Homo-oligomer: A and B are copies of this chain.
Amino acid sequence: MLDIVRSNNDETQSGAARVFTFFRDRLLAGELRAGDRLLPERELALALGVSRPVLREALRSLAMLGLLDIQHGRGAFVRAADASVLGQALTLCLAPEPNILDDVLQARIAIECQAIRLACERASERDLQAIAGTLDTLVDSLDDPERGGPADYAFHSAIVRASNSGSLMKIYEAISPLLMQSHVERRRDTFREPAITTHLVDAHREVFLSLARRDPDAAERRLREHFLIGDDLRRKNLISTYQPKEQHS
């Protein structure tokens, strides 16, 4: 009756870790699905043959990972796996590295370039229409930097979604918080630069058109150009900002 946990796991792990892996495996196996409610802590502890503190350590760990939604006075519920956890984990892993904000752009380019190739094969009419829609809002919000940022992200995100690849989408979502961070940092430099906004719409439109024509090579090329030009403009802007003070150091 007791020891449900112990029977399924190594004897080497202790208490909370056993319970943790127990639930994790149930989640991976699909035996526990989003929305399911767990038994009350007291009953669960009894059923699993551990004390309540130990059980709580495990449940809390699962909650911190975003797998559980524990609500005071209501209970613990299984939560759908969310990319935000991935994002946090990635942030933590990348924290010690230098220049993460710049480097994460490489991951972005990697994901998007593959995504757009896939999208050329797989995108449905609805996907294309969705991308076209983001393009429209992008044009509308040209003069509003507050709306322009999200609009830009929506366009690129829609492309990744059109790839119909879960892996690419999840990874893209995972890096997007870091991407945003790098984006606001960059926008300080390129804020309202006319050369940029002028080019912006054309570049996006070209990317979209190549995708709509289902031409993977062209689409990827356009996308790479778009990234390169953005990078160039930013660099030029940085140089022109620091040039007058160049003699200082």
B-binding residues in A (CB < 8 A): 14, 16-17, 20, 24, 27-28, 30, 53, 56-58, 60-61, 63-65, 67, 72, 80-83, 85-86, 89-97, 100, 103-104, 106-107, 109-111, 113-115, 118, 163, 165-168, 170-171, 175
Contact = CB atoms under 8 A, between A and B. Distances in A.
Q: Which 8 A-B pairs have the closest CB atoms?
A: A110-B114, A97-B166, A61-B64, A107-B167, A57-B60, A61-B61, A81-B93, A106-B165
A20 B64 contact: yes
A211 to B, nearest CB: 16
Given A110-B111, A110-B115, A30 B163 contact: no
A48 B117 CA distance: 52
Contacts of A171: 90, 107, 171
B92 A81 contact: yes
Nearest to A15: B60
A41 B109 CA distance: 44
A118 B86 CA distance: 24
Nearest to A221: B217
A92 B168 contact: no
Contacts of A64: 17, 20, 61, 64-65
